[in-house]
Chains A and B, each alone.
Chain A
Amino acid sequence: MDPLILARAQFAANISFHILFPTITIALGWLLFFFRWRWLKTRDEGWLASYRFWTKVFALSFALGVVSGITMSFQFGTNWPGFMERVGNIAGPLLGYEVLTAFFLEATFLGVMLFGHNRVSERMHMIATFLVAFGTTVSAFWILSLNSWMQTPTGYEIVNGEFHVRSWIEVLFNPSFPYRLAHMLLASGLTGSFLVAGVSAWQLLRGTPHKGTQRALRTGITVAAILIPVQIFVGDQHGLNTLEHQPQKIAAMEGVWQTERGAPLLLFAWPDAAAKENRYVVGIPKGASLILRHDAQAEVRGLNEFEGQHPPVAPLFFAFRLMVGVGMLMLAVSWTTVWMLRRRAWVAQQLPRAMLGVLSAMSFSGWLATLAGWYVTEIGRQPFIVYGLIRTAEVASKTPASHIALTLAAYLALYAVLIVAFISVVRYLAEHTEDSEALPAGSGQAIAQTAAAAGQGARS
């Protein structure tokens, strides 16, 4: 098999697995901070129970994100050695600042946040929780800046084939960065809030709620209902920005093979790459022109203008529709739930079982939409690694295909096991909430007694 395809598959497998977890932790970190703050303000046990329950899911997600992130930091070199040799002067500092300003911050204070409640003051613990959430967000800032630069490179000059920085401001705040950052942070917010709402709904269905399940459900679904219209707006703006800077990506997403005026919006089609046309088309006439150019007769540039320089159509076409579809579903579900809750005096337990079932089914819907969105943006950049400037094939590693295939198989097997384990453990935790209830309410004395008892147990 082609080593380039294997190297791409391996990197894609790893980065897809990785992004699942930061997508949860960025938002969940802020939700935990909110739970913690509500508990301090109201002293309502429900908020504390929510905090404790979701801390466990957070810790698990965080660990999975860290270990797969470390893998990624190595795979830059093992899979794309030429990338760093060519653009190291730009990518290096951005990655370096991510490690320096975010990784250490979140990793160090995570220990204090998870296990230090009875060892530091309430205020210090709040600060630790804040710093963890803040660290995850700062990390997103740097990595999305780099990714956006690879999509819309600016502020560089090329000397002897190597990239040098002309303006750091232009590199950092490249044209697609604000849109991509906002889109990703909102995606994280939606993933986290649907997870919290969905798992809480599952607990109500299974009859295993903790003291804070209702509050968590309300918080999750309210946040989701607020974020989803914002996300749809930001997504549209992001699309317009892409149209301006990467028109072939849009052409592939919309399945526009030939430049045309009054292009239809395809709801479904089967893109045929060999014939360069779509089959089984279901579309809204002039829809694409209207959405993309805000003019029914406007011209949409087709893939025929980008011969040999455009991404494959089918993956983008379907991934984009999957993302938008999940987004619309999120809008329908979150608004329906909020409306139902309002009519039931915000008592989540009164929600129809069918609604709770739908919410549970949507627990991991954010993952689907996020992955689909990233496939659109990353496959959409192909055949380039730095858009328009460096082709992916140029920087690939010379590692023998057999080595890549072997390690790819190992990673895939491991990731499959870990995804199954993650979802089963979240479910197990959701159905066994009595453990979190049994905890002493954060008094150092009680913890010390437990520890002493455990110590005696160990000695005897």
Chain B
Amino acid sequence: MSWEQALPMIFLGLMGLSMLVYVALDGYDLGVGMLLPRASDAQKDVMIASIGPFWDANETWLVLGVGILLIAFPKAHGLVLTALYLPVAAMLIGLILRGVAFDFRVKARAHHKPLWNLAFFAGSGLASVAQGYMLGRYITGFAEGPEFAVFAAAIALALPAAYVLLGASWLIMKTEGELQAQSVRWAKQAWIPVVVGMALISIATPWVSQTVRNKWFVMPEFIALLPIPLMTAVALVLARGLLNSHRVLGKLCWAPFALVIAVFILGAFGLAYSLYPYVVMDRLTLWQAASATNSLAVILVGVAIAVPAIAGYTVFAYRVFWGKATELHYG
């Protein structure tokens, strides 16, 4: 493979990675946001403290993902964002509400606090539903028709459920006492719609897309790919089993979160396999959509230096706030 062909692939990989990291990291933030109304006032503070130092940087992965789409695949960028105009606007309004509510709620006068809590919840919910809907539209290459609308609507509900499961698992890891026990119950409740949603989507995707059907249901690929759904199922069942065990409140508090993250990674693998080599399903391959080689090479230098650095100081930040969440103070 020549350098001209390899560069777009590298950037497709980077874009996929950024989006996956975004979904995994902001996923727990958004999940915690959606759980907020179900907690007591003191619990709300701890829940928000658990995501306080991170949400900002987590959201930056979305900027990187859409940035790479913009930089490396400008033709796809225009096509995708024009097709998703309204849900993108809905997501952005949701993310704005969530982000500002986080900061306003601790600084505004006390009787405004419930209002900002509501904005935090509504923003998280709106952003998650919009992201799910966009994913659903994207997988089918923005195909029009009632079956595609139902498909997108199903993902619009399934993705928020997955975020709630991830958020609850995050809280199991980062909190203790009553809130932690509560989070285990939340995780159990979210587990059912996640499993149903994933099963339905796995069946529906090949059903609505000829391309996906042809990629999965042929021999020997079918056998080679079997580990992906199997491992997903094992991770989900294992997570559910753990939630019943009291050890999840102690030493194994990190395990449900790790397992749900594993489910997200496996899902991303499956999705990436289904889509490749398209950037927009059935319409635009990565090579058709790519920028000039010169420009990609220039960014690659920056990526090669910056991404390891970003990974390094992200790990540093998570280590600084390692362990159970405590109340946050500006200081």
Contacts and interface: CB of A to CB of B under 8 A. Distances in A.
Interface residues of A, number: 81
Contacts of A110: 56-57
B299 A52 contact: no
B168 interface: no
B62 interface: yes
Nearest to A125: B331
Given A93-B299, A111-B56, A457-B42, A165 B294 contact: yes
Interface string B294-331: 11001100110011001001101100110000111111
Contacts of B72: 92
Q: Which of B92, B302, B307, B327 has the most CB of A within 10 A?
A: B92
A403 B302 contact: no
A411 interface: yes
B299 A92 contact: yes
B178 interface: yes
A82 B78 contact: yes
B103 A89 contact: no
A338 interface: no
A388 B319 CA distance: 51
A273 interface: no
Q: Which of B62, B108, B177, B295 has the most CB of A within 10 A?
A: B295
A70 B92 contact: yes
Contacts of B56: 62-63, 66, 107-108, 110-111
B197 interface: no
Q: Is the interface of B mostly helix, strand, loop or mixed?
A: helix
Interface in A385-430: 397-399, 403, 406-407, 410-411, 414, 418, 421, 424-425, 428-429
Q: Is the interface of A mostly helix, strand, loop or mixed?
A: helix
A458 B42 contact: yes
A70 B62 contact: yes
B327 A451 contact: yes
B63 A70 contact: yes
A348 B115 CA distance: 37
A111 B328 CA distance: 10
Interface stretch (B82-90, B229-237, B276-284): B82-90
B288 to A, nearest CB: 12
Contacts of A104: 57, 60, 64, 306, 310, 313-314
A101 interface: yes
Contact of A88 (B70, B92, B303): B70
B299 A81 contact: no
List 5 A-B pairs, minimum CB-CB distance, nearest first: A81-B78, A111-B53, A88-B74, A92-B71, A77-B81
Interface of B: 40, 42-43, 45-46, 52-54, 56-57, 59-60, 62-64, 66-72, 74-75, 77-82, 85-86, 88-89, 92-93, 95-97, 99-100, 102-104, 107-109, 176-179, 291-292, 294-295, 298-299, 302-303, 306-307, 310, 313-314, 316-317, 320-321, 326-331
Interface of A: 52, 55-56, 59-60, 62-64, 66-71, 73-74, 76-78, 81-82, 84-85, 88-90, 92-93, 95-97, 99-101, 103-105, 107-112, 114-120, 162, 164-165, 168, 397-399, 403, 406-407, 410-411, 414, 418, 421, 424-425, 428-429, 436, 439, 442, 447-448, 450-451, 454-455, 457-459
